[in-house]
Amino acid sequence: MPDAAIMSAGAADPMLPRIARVRRRRRDGPEVWTLDVETDDPFAFAPGQFNMLTAFGVGEAPISMSGDATKPGLVHTIRAVGAVSAALTRLGPGDPIGVRGPFGVGWPMDGAASHDVVVVAGGLGLAPVRPALYRLLAERGRYGRVVLLYGTRSPDEILFRAELEEWRRRLDIQIEVTVDHAVGDWRGNVGVATTLISRARFDPLNTVAIVCGPEIMMRFAVTALRDAGVARESIYLSMERNMKCAIGLCGHCQFGPVFVCKDGPVFSYDRIGRLLSMREI
């Protein structure tokens, strides 16, 4: 199904959660867990979209997809930072979970065809870009150079480590990983993810950039990408805001003139760049 069709599809009643069940739960980092979720009916989504997940009796939270869009079921990677997210991470095999979605605008996978693609991710931001990486690698011939630049605070917080090592062995993707603080036997890069952009191999005049992570990291990443020559309209960011209804009615996720839930979460930098420079918005 084309990305545009997937993005317009959703539950018959967008406010009514489907009842799904957790198939598997695994730990992917300190306070970070990944849930594999089974649904009774097919669930199509585009890389970059999100679901509203319900921990029954506790509440609902927006969580990005982190699995392969071509495979059945849903995968969500969640950090326990509040009551709802903590309750979601405690769910185990067989437990019910509510799912509303998919919602939002995803990464420009079709628009990136024939271009070099640079993915810059920070911390848990690797989870929302992982579906895009699956697509890039599955359809490798459609794209030019593919680069993943990933930064996290410490080596023990690196997500999907085994998968990163497997992808690096393919030899058709450049992967650079860095940490803020080297501990233990870490012998890799030290520093923030944005410092990796200068060593990445890509043609800035023919590049689409995918950026996801803490907002301050994304601001610096945009600056580094612009300094490298990447056009404003070719840089895409996934924004996080406090989403409640997911369909643009409640106003909780308003970001200037746009709503993150329905106009995003993925935006081109030329659309929201001015807003990123404003405080308290």
Find the CATH number of the domain harbouring 59: 2.40.30.10
Q: Note whether 43 and 122 are same-domain residues.
A: no
Task: Give the model's pLDDT for residue 277.
Answer: 73
Task: Give the model's pLDDT for residue 6.
Answer: 39
Task: Give the model's pLDDT for residue 9.
Answer: 44
Among residues 103, 130, 146, the one where a domain terminates is: 103
Q: Note whether 78 and 172 are same-domain residues.
A: no
Give 90-124 pLDDT, tens digit per residue.
999 999 999 999 999 999 999 999 999 999 999 99
Give the residue from 224, 219, 222 showing the smallest Cα distance to 199. 224
Domain that holds residue 75: 3-103
Q: Is residue 187 part of a domain?
A: yes
Give 220-240 pLDDT, tens digit per residue.
999 999 999 999 999 999 998
Q: Note whether 127 and 95 are same-domain residues.
A: no
Q: Is residue 111 part of a domain?
A: no
Task: Give the model's pLDDT for residue 5.
Answer: 43
Give Cβ neighbours of residue 171 (< 8 Å, ≥ 6 apart): none
Token representation of residue 253: 């996720």
Q: Note whether 94 and 129 are same-domain residues.
A: no
Residue by residue, pLDDT tens for the chain (281 residues) are 455 443 444 446 878 899 999 999 999 999 999 999 999 888 899 999 999 999 999 999 999 999 999 999 999 999 999 999 999 999 999 999 999 999 999 999 999 999 999 999 999 999 999 999 999 999 999 999 999 999 999 999 999 999 999 999 999 999 999 999 888 889 899 999 999 999 999 999 999 999 999 999 999 999 999 999 999 999 999 998 778 899 999 999 998 899 999 999 999 999 998 887 766 55
Q: Note whether 67 and 153 are same-domain residues.
A: no
Q: How many Cβ atoms sit within 10 Å of the Cβ of residue 18?
A: 18
Mean of pLDDT over the chain:
92
Query: What is the pTM assigned to this prediction?
Result: 0.92
Q: Note whether 120 and 217 are same-domain residues.
A: yes
Among residues 38, 73, 103, the one where a domain terminates is: 103
